[in-house]
Amino acid sequence: MKKSAAFLFLITTLVCLFSGCSKAQEKPQDEKESLMDKNILIVYLSRTKNTKAVATIIHKNVGGSLVELELQNPYPEDYKTIVSQVANENETGFLPPLKTKIENIEKYDVVFIGFPTWGMQLPPPMKSFLKQYNLEGKTVIPFNTNAGYGVGSTFQTVKELCSKSKVLEGFSTKGGIERDGVLFVMEGEKEKQVEVEVQKWLKKIGFMN
């Protein structure tokens, strides 16, 4: 009788253990599904079209609304002039006014924000966006293109400006080098390669199966 009771207890324990494992395995999938059911906004700033290319790839894979940030007073075309202007904006804290208007931003649950690295910092227009719109309680996901020098302080600034949002792991890739006159490079084989990288990242953060 004691042996039967012990055996029954053992079987019950094993069933509970396997059931618990099964639920633990299912949970990440449930989280992925819930993330993919959210209303998604993809906002990007792109001077040389590389960030636009990455934004388009993300949009192709996750859907949602795709919006380009435009300024009331566009930056000059000359590279040295824009570098000087942006350096002054960063130093003074000036936030350039946006021409772009996003209606009903409260309806979005997830906001992807894309930008190049300018002077190793977050571009002032993106700072304007993050300070103008309330993203509290939303999931914010940064993505970046740069000339090979990396993200600088951009992702950290996003976290600071979105302190009441859930900021997920960002994505970064090398784009053009405007300083050297190399503008748009995200095409052909490079675009295909970046799309594979973006898909791996989206899977990692739970937006693709």
Answer yes or no: is 175 within a domain.
Answer: yes
Answer yes or no: is 14 within a domain.
Answer: no
d(C-alpha 154, C-alpha 113), whole Å:
11
Task: Indicate if the pLDDT at residue 32 is higher than 90.
Answer: no
Q: Which residue has the higher pLDDT, 208 or 207?
A: 207
Q: Report, as an integer, the average pLDDT of 44-52.
A: 94
**Beta bridge pairs of residue 113:** 43, 142
Q: Report, as an integer, the average pLDDT of 18-41.
A: 54
CATH number at residue 155: 3.40.50.360
pLDDT digits (tens, 9 = 90+) for 118-144: 999 999 999 999 999 999 999 999 999
pLDDT digits (tens, 9 = 90+) for 77-99: 888 999 999 999 999 999 999 99
Contact assessment for residue 167 and residue 142, using Cβ atoms and an 8 Å cutoff = yes
Q: Report, as an integer, the average pLDDT of 51-65.
A: 96
Q: How confident is the model at residue 186 (pLDDT cuts 50, 70, 90)?
A: confident
Task: Indicate if the pLDDT at residue 27 is higher than 90.
Answer: no
Residue 96: domain span: 38-204
Q: Determine which of 10-14, 150-154, 161-165 has the lowest per-residue pLDDT on average.
A: 10-14
Answer yes or no: is 155 within a domain.
Answer: yes
Answer yes or no: is 29 within a domain.
Answer: no
What burial letters (b/e) apply to 16-49, b meaning 16+ CB within 10 Å? eeeeeeeeeeeeeeeebeebbeeebbbbbbbbbb
Answer yes or no: is 99 within a domain.
Answer: yes
Answer yes or no: is 30 within a domain.
Answer: no
| 88: Cα within 13 Å, side-chain hemisphere | 8
Q: Rounded to a whole number, what is the largest CA-CA distance in the chain?
A: 90
**Which pLDDT score is estimated for 143?**
98
Percent pLDDT > 90 in the chain is: 69
- Specify the number of domains making up the chain: 1
Answer yes or no: is 21 within a domain.
Answer: no
Answer yes or no: is 17 within a domain.
Answer: no
